[in-house]
Amino acid sequence: NDGYKLWLQYYPLENPKSEYREILGNARVPGESPTLSIIKTELEIARSGFFGPATLQKDSNSPKLIIALKDTDPAINKNTTPEEMAVLGEEGYLIKKFSEAGQNKILITANSEIGLLYGTFKLLQTIQTGEQIPNTGLSNSPKIKHRVLNHWDNLDRSVERGYSGSSIWNWHRLPRHIDQQYLDYARANASLGINGVSVTNVNANALVLTPEYLAKAKALADAFRPYGIKLYLTARFSSPMEIGGLPTADPINAEVQAWWKEKTKEIYQYIPDFGGFLVKADSEGQPGPHNYGRTQAEGANVLADAVRPYGGIVMWRAFVYNEKTPDDRHKQGYNEFKKIDGEFRENVIVQVKNGAIDFQPREPFHPLFGAMPKTPLMMEFQITQEYLGHDTHLAFLAPMFEETLKSDTYANGKGSLVSKVIDGSLHKYPLTAMAGVANIGTDRNWTGHHFHQANWFAFGKLAWDPETRSADIAEEWLKLTFTTDKKFTEPIQKMMLASHEMVVNYMTPLGLHHIMARGHHYGPGPWVTGGGRDDWTATYYHKATEKGVGFDRTASGSDALGQYAPEIQKEWGNLKTAPEKFLLWFHHLPWDHRLANGNTLWDGIALHYQKGVEEAKANVAIWESMEAHVDAERFKHVLSFMKIQAEEAVWWRDACLLYFQQFSKMPLPDGVDKPEHDLDYYLNFNPKFVPGNG
Ligand code: BDP
């Protein structure tokens, strides 16, 4: 098993006598359409996986499973109420048991064919995991409207921050060749409810908007459509100059505005249901409205006006910062956007990273959440593990995503969770979305580490319902991907749930951040300093001296804390109540500062690193004990990655502790292993061939 089948394994059911044998063998899916045919094929794949290839004698007069829209099968109208149908909305589904002529049957219905497809996947997942369909039925609809993967894929097939091979989009072969992998990809996304894909890097290439590439993009959009997936493109702000021949890209200029309208009209001729644009502007060298002295809203609105007649949206990133602004980088996104709340067109949604710096192993939630009541905000999570050990380190990210989503912004008083900002309920945003930066490539198992499939899976589940619990996501993924045997699922679920905290411990405990190696961001680099951009160094963030360590973001420092609600300022600003996980994010403290458990800060840091290492080593042993439960191929693959992780946890610990010890001048506490090398060794050790720089 090379893992290509992801969580759609459909391995033989543990109880093969299951009633589902007959149910899946006797399905009725009235009508013909590409989506309905995907449903029929899916039922066949699952049935033969669960029960073996032999077909059942079909009784077409009495189907046992009916998958149909209202009015296309009498059983649906008879066994559902208008109220039940109304709550499903456009994409929801209802799975219900009913009996007819003394036979137990199941129906799946929805208000759209995509809803039927989602319901089909849900039924198949329920069967595989051994769960029951409740007697009251199973009704579910997404809480977020646009659930979008962002690929940072370049047209030359390199992937910025991608660690699982090349881009799966083969632009050279497109549009004439549609690779099977595109369909398998779309199917996997549909099985999670992901309904949008931005296929190109946010560091955008204007070429993708030329007719030659639009024809290619159209071929992808056509392939995705039956799976309910819309295509989005990244728009380079300077495109009117680069491919339009205009002397400017100033958003106020009438010719520029006309150019975007014309270009958009052309795109919709290729792709009638084009989702819209994703834009990174005025950040890390990308062009944007700042070049013309305009605001982010003025920039976004030009594109928004262009896509509006066709129902398109603009996802405009809030990741705007620059090295010339003297202010703490943490504050820049908020300062840029807060003041223009309400100035965006209604089809613009501002895409905000989970935290204010940049996808660090742990960040407090971005202060923009809760601060823009008049502008829809969407979440951007990074699924690819740029700062979390790339492909080789197991880190199950659902707990990290959940931590952000459950954070209280206090925007409308207690309980104003980030999840409620982005599902639109807090500020009544009609437009809602969540984006995840994809971790997918041409590796046979898609994501490099087999367990990183779980992060794609987790993103899909949380985008559908941001209140889904990490523990449930892990359990479901394990059961679908490996086995329902509790001897495997229970210890491995526990390992997954603890893995993010473990990585934080051996990389950036107690609120340390941005102390990774320069450029490729793989491995430790607390010594990274100088080189033109202060905000891309480690020393800018940890500020270690003999006196102490940490970034003072309280009122006595940069006052980034002032961007949060007063309740948070009070709690996080006070050393007695500040959560230790964010301690050095907001406070600069002496090495002998006392932590809650009485340890000095120095000892606390060292012990956290040690804990991370011990867990990474223990995980190797846990996984080794699972050999009987996993196929040999995946077992070995995961094992060798876990060994790499355990070795590199030691690398992180030793390099960071030796570096910080120069300042603390304190001995390592009992229980912390003595480093094998000296600091010079780590300073000179730099893996050269790290992929993913893009
Ligand atoms: C940073 C990455 C860079 C991305 C940038 C972004 O290092 O490659 O282009 O995020 O999100 O973390 O635009």
Residue 608 to residues 396, 515, 611, 651, 686: CA-CA distances in angstroms? 19, 16, 5, 14, 24
Fold assignment, 146-468:
TIM Barrel (3.20.20)
Q: Name which residue leads in pLDDT, 55 or 468.
A: 468
CA-nearest residue for atom 12, ligand 1, is 358
CA-nearest residue for atom 10, ligand 1, is 358
**pTM for the structure as a whole:** 0.98
Q: What are the pocket residues of ligand 1 if the criterion is a CB atom closer than 6 Å to any ligand atom?
A: 160-161, 202-203, 280, 284, 319, 358-359, 386
pLDDT in tens, 608-663: 999 999 999 999 999 999 999 999 999 999 999 999 999 999 999 999 999 999 99
Distance between CA atoms of 423 and 434, rounded to whole angstroms? 9
pLDDT in tens, 391-410: 999 999 999 999 999 999 99
The angle formed by the CA atoms of residues 164, 166 and 172, to the nearest 5 degrees, is 160
Q: Which of 67-76, 217-226, 316-325, 683-692 has the lowest mean pLDDT?
A: 683-692
Give 330's pLDDT tier (boundaries 50, 70, 90).
Answer: very high
Phi, psi of 411 (to 5 degrees): -60, -45
Of 179, 242, 284, 465, which one is the catalytic site residue? Answer: 284
CA of residue 534 to ligand 1 center, whole Å: 16
Which among 411, 400, 296, 300 is positioned nearest to 355, based on CA atoms?
400
Domain 20-140: top CATH class: alpha beta
Distance between CA atoms of 498 and 1, rounded to whole angstroms? 26
Q: Above 70 in pLDDT, residue 57?
A: no
CA of residue 280 to ligand 1 center, whole Å: 10
386 noted as active-site residue:
yes
CA-nearest residue for atom 9, ligand 1, is 203
CA of residue 201 to ligand 1 center, whole Å: 10
pLDDT in tens, 443-452: 999 999 999 9
Report the residue among 150, 154, 161, 329 best suited for mutation to probe ligand 1: largest number of ligand atoms under 8 A from its CB.
Answer: 161
Of 386, 501, 614, 648, which one is the catalytic site residue? Answer: 386
Q: Which of 252-261, 320-329, 442-451, 536-545 has the lowest mean pLDDT?
A: 320-329
Q: What is the pLDDT of residue 320?
A: 97
CATH of 504-551+588-684, one of 3.40.50.10330, 3.30.365.10, 3.40.50.10490, 3.90.1330.10: 3.90.1330.10
465 noted as active-site residue:
no
CA of residue 490 to ligand 1 center, whole Å: 36
Q: What is the pLDDT of residue 444?
A: 98
Distance between CA atoms of 174 and 517, rounded to whole angstroms? 37
Q: What is the pLDDT of residue 53?
A: 81
Q: Are 266 and 214 contacting, i.e. CB atoms less than 8 angstroms apart?
A: yes
Instruction: Quickly count helices (H) and strands (E) in the chain.
Output: 22, 13
Give 55's pLDDT tier (boundaries 50, 70, 90).
Answer: low
Distance between CA atoms of 37 and 68, rounded to whole angstroms? 12
Q: Are 442 and 168 contacting, i.e. CB atoms less than 8 angstroms apart?
A: yes
pLDDT in tens, 347-368: 999 999 999 999 999 999 999 9
Give 513's pLDDT tier (boundaries 50, 70, 90).
Answer: very high
Sheet holding 93-100, edge to edge: 27-28, 65-67, 103-110, 93-100, 138-140
Tokens for 83, please give them. Answer: 């109220």
Distance between CA atoms of 305 and 253, rounded to whole angstroms? 14
Of 153, 358, 501, 552, which one is the catalytic site residue? Answer: 358
ipTM exceeds 0.95, yes or no: yes
Q: Above 70 in pLDDT, residue 130?
A: yes
Domain residues of the chain, as ranges? 20-140, 146-468, 504-551+588-684
Q: What is the pLDDT of residue 560?
A: 98
Relative orientation angle of helices 486-507 and 470-481, to the nearest 10 degrees:
130
Give 236's pLDDT tier (boundaries 50, 70, 90).
Answer: very high
CA of residue 436 to ligand 1 center, whole Å: 13
131 noted as active-site residue:
no
